[in-house]
Structure 1
Amino acid sequence: MTGKPSVLFVCVHNAGRSQMAAGWLRHLAGDRVEVRSAGSAPAAAVNPAAVEAMREVGIDITDQKPKLLAYDTVESSDVVVTMGCGDSCPYFPGKRYEDWKLDDPAGKGVDAVRPIRDEIRDRVATLLAELLPAG
């Protein structure tokens, strides 16, 4: 990586996990990291329970829209974090890949989404510390 690192979060519908992860990274990193998210089969809208769970911690993701995963988006990202998209994510040698095993918030209420949100926060904070070490 040279310059500002770029992180791509990918889940199937780009409506829950990847949107929350992108929201957390934007919140925690500011403009120090380029943040992207996409899905292999994007939904029509972001999951309302994910929106509400993020709003509870002061992060607004209401302006986000699920996006289709594009080959060039993966190719131009430094880190690709997958969340249940399986083999539908393209692979490029030399990229850093992480696969986060997380419950899918689809169809769940905000009470069930909160622990997923909090686990994502912890993983994003760890990733950020690795990308931008203090000092």
Structure 2
Amino acid sequence: MTDARPSILFVCVHNAGRSQMAAGFARALGGDRVQVLSAGSEPADSINPVAVEAMAEVGIDITGTRPRVLAVNDVRTSDAVVTMGCGDACPVFPGKRYEDWELTDPAGLPLEAVRPVRDEIRARVEHLLADLIG
């Protein structure tokens, strides 16, 4: 790869809530300074509508994204891999930065319960971006 930008992969089981919100924040806050991927070990058919609504409240539109299955190459080509509840489904490659974020799964939760999850994700993404791109 000739692209010098750091690449972040966000992974959760269904790729419908937490990882999509994290990817949305990383794209919005990191802009063209970072590459962002998200995937799931068992992707859902669509994005969690409450996650979409929670992100819209902070001005980030994730309606154009779709859950996708985790590919080994996604992990191989990423500088940082952030997992959120997918356990051992994510392959491990030496030399990669791995973080496991323990976050409440927003699936089936009302908007009031998703907001704190969204805010925690934002704080963690901000910290990760500060480490990767300054």
Normalised by the size of structure 1, how large is the TM-score? Answer: 0.96
CA deviations on 1:45-92 (whole Å, 9 max, x unpaired) are 000000000000000000000000001111010000000000111000
Amino acid across the alignment from 2:117: I
User: What residue number does 2:106 align with?
Assistant: 105
1:125 is the counterpart of 2:113: no
Provide the residue aligned with 2:11 in structure 1: 10
Superposition CA RMSD, Å: 0.8
Aligned partner of 1:70 in structure 2 is: 71
User: Unaligned stretches of 5+ in structure 2?
Assistant: none
**Moved runs in structure 1, 4+ residues, more than 6 A?**
none
Aligned length: 132
Q: Counterparts of 1:51-90 in structure 2 under 5 Å?
A: 51-90=52-91
Distance in 2 of aligned mates of 1:31 and 1:108: 32
Extract unaligned runs of 5+ from structure 1: none
SS in 1 for 2:52: helix
Match of 1:114 in 2: 115
TM-score by length of 2: 0.97
Identity percentage over the alignment? 68
Q: Deviations over 1:27-54 (max 9, x none)?
A: 0011110000000000000000000000
